[in-house]
Amino acid sequence: MLDHVSLGVADIARTRKFYDAALAPLGYRRLSNSDESLGYGADSVALWLSKAARPVPADRESGLHFCFAAPSREAVDQFHQAALAQGGSDNGAPGLRADYGDNYYAAFVVDPDGYRIEAYCSQPG
């Protein structure tokens, strides 16, 4: 349904370090790079992150979050670890979420700009 998502961020250099590390275990990489914007995806850009004068204020209660598909449970674990190492904050450690489904394995993080992100794998353990 969606071709891409665009988000405004306060600091491109900080964002680059965070998303390079967090998305690499999931098989996504930086496909576009400038002083004003970054683009991430596998074959084409699906996530644009651009320097914004007024990024959306962080709001953990908004319900807004972005979920990235992961190829394995190990990739979910690595996503979580890398995100925390690059300034993200924990919003749900890696693990099964039985209330979401039998094989719903996910981890939740808040990025340095306050966006809530998730990595998810549906493969059995």
Cβ–Cβ < 8 Å for 21, 29: no
Domains of the chain are 5-53+60-121 (3.10.180.10)
Check residue 1 and give its pLDDT.
Answer: 87
Mean pLDDT by 10 residues, the chain (125 residues): 94 97 98 97 97 88 93 98 98 96 96 96 90
Collapsed DSSP state (helix, strand, coil) of residue 2: coil
Buried b (16+ CB within 10 A) or exposed e, 65-84: eeebebeebebbbbbbbbbb
